[in-house]
Structure 1
Amino acid sequence: MPAFTHRTILITGAASGIGLATAHHLAHAGAARLVLVDSDADALARIDLPCTLDLLPGDVRDEAFWDNAAAYLGDLDHAVVNAGVAGASGIADHDFAEWRRILSVNLDGAFLTLRAAMRAMKRRGGSIVATASATGIKPEPGTAAYGASKAALMHLVKVAAKEGAASNIRVNAVAPAGVETPVWDAVPMFAASAAEIGRDAAFAEIARAATPLGRFASADEIATQIAFLLSDNAALVTGTTLVSDGGYTL
């Protein structure tokens, strides 16, 4: 397991799913301090981990939030740009307000998080991983806003990697396909299936149909991949997207 002893790490979307799994993984890998951000203040307050925690409830889309959060980042070592929302609609029927909601969290929020993290790392370097998605690579009906936001995020990661290199800041992304997290509850097709046959069966049914390996990832599996990309074991890896999709994009 990569070691994160004495490291300070920022994680957004930290109260559930991949963010929470990553927080647990890094805390048990020796992280000294985690700065955890989420819009769900109650869920954030329930997190209990064996390291120093700075819990910052807030909206990653809010520039003023990041201005205030800068005081907690200090000499940041690592950051996980993970906060995101999902939705599904065909383009012709897409509500513009819903389009803006998804883009503002997944892209505006990612930009503001990246900017804050890179500013905090500029003095001594560090590493950043963003949570993208295989839907940013493979187009599917109904994924216009989500897929576009994640495709843009993967390009933003490349730009950030090139700009950050001079300050020894590495920036990468991980692009899962299906991951068994609460974000699926916002997808009408999944929600209907889960109500009928149960969540586990719904995940299994979708995974068999969508991925050659026949299963989705767990949040813990994606957390280990994020930890690798953050760690010194990936010291020469920057500007890349690790596609972790069970063969979905083949």
Structure 2
Amino acid sequence: MARHILITGAGSGIGLACAQHYAAHGAERLVLVDRDDAALARVDLPVAVDRIVGDVRDEALWDRAAPLLAGIDAAVVNAGVAGAGAITDLSLAEWQRITSVNLDGAFLTLRAAMRTMKDTGGAIVATSSAAGIKPEAGVSAYGASKAALLHLVKVAAKEGAPDRIRVNAVAPAGVETPVWDAVPMFADRVAEIGRDAAFAELAAMATPLGRYAKPEEIAAQIAFLLSDAAALITGATLVCDGGYTL
């Protein structure tokens, strides 16, 4: 059972659900990272919490965070952003905004966690996406960044194995998180029919099982991959998409 856990993107969505899950299941200390100061301040948990406000793409942030990472035995590489747009319409700035958070930020988080765990071992899970497996029009930057993250996880698993560091990924499809608010199509539907109805509409169109995941469900799957029950699982991707990639 992981006791000292680093979680990025911890102010909302899957990251917050992971923090809440571990606070309720025996964690002793959580190191929570988010660039949203207000959201991070609202995270109220009955365990020791170290909060780091900043951008996961900032290498200096990880230099400053190093003392707080001492002793961590698990990490959730979760911070990410979404966006949409056809390749012909997408600006380089928008491409770089999405890929820099989802890939550069993940790399820096992963590097910091692996450096900390080198002498003690540990487990890491990165939040990728079914969009990194199944191509869809309009999500080139997001899909490419999440596909690259899946390969990065495999390389990290191979490099980490001699130090007893396991590295895996989850690849959800639709999850009811605030990341959808950055998708113009979803925001338009929320304005027209409400948030719950918009999620239900999207799920009915895209997911054979007919619903999207709750953040708490993904947090439980991440917790499994970080646990001793998954002690021989590394370099793997748990696709939790309701059948979306079929």
CA distance in 1, matches of 2:230, 2:142: 28
For residues 66-116 of structure 1, what are the alpha-carbon distances to aligned partners after superposition, in whole Å with 9 as ceiling and x for unaligned? Answer: 011001000210000000000000000001100000010000000000000
Cα deviation 1:12-58 (Å, max 9, x = unaligned): 00000000000000111110000000000111011111110000001
Note the residue ranges of structure 1 that are not aligned, 5 or more in a row: none
Matched with 2:119 is 123
| 1:76-115 equivalence runs, <5 A | 76-115=72-111
- Counterpart of 1:135 in structure 2 is 131
Per the normalisation by structure 1, the TM-score is 0.98
Select which of 234, 238, 241 maps to 1:242. Answer: 238
**Number of equivalenced pairs:** 246
- Counterpart in 2 of 1:33? 29
How far apart are the structure 1 equivalents of 2:25 and 2:206? 33
Over 4 Å off, 4+ runs: none
- Asked if residue 17 in structure 1 is aligned to residue 16 in structure 2, the reply is no
Pairing 1:42-191 to 2, within 5 Å after superposition: 42-191=38-187
Q: What is the CA–CA distance in structure 2 between the aligned matches of 1:45 and 1:189, rounded to whole Å? A: 30
CA–CA distance in structure 2, aligned partners of residues 134 and 206 of structure 1: 15
SS at match of 1:247: coil
Q: How far apart in 1 are the matches of 2:40 and 2:34?
A: 7
CA offsets per residue over residues 176-210 of structure 1, 9 Å max, x none?
Answer: 00000000000011110111000000000010000
**How big is the alpha-carbon RMSD for the aligned residues of Structure 1 and Structure 2?**
0.6
Separation of aligned partners in 2, 1:126 and 1:205: 40
Structure 2 SS opposite 1:84: coil
d(CA) in 1 for partners of 2:39, 2:177: 15
Q: Which residue of 1 aligns with 2:213?
A: 217
Secondary structure of 2:155's aligned partner = helix
Distance 2:162 2:243 in 1: 35
Partner of 1:208: 204
Equivalent-residue separation in structure 2 for 1:68 and 1:113 (angstroms): 13
1:215 Cα deviation after fit: 0.5
Measure, in 2, the Cα distance between the counterparts of 1:18 and 1:33. Answer: 18
TM-score, length-scaled by structure 2 = 0.99
Residue identity (%)? 74
1:194 to 181, 187, 190: 190
5+ residue gaps, structure 2: none
Aligned to 1:91, the other structure's residue is in SS state coil
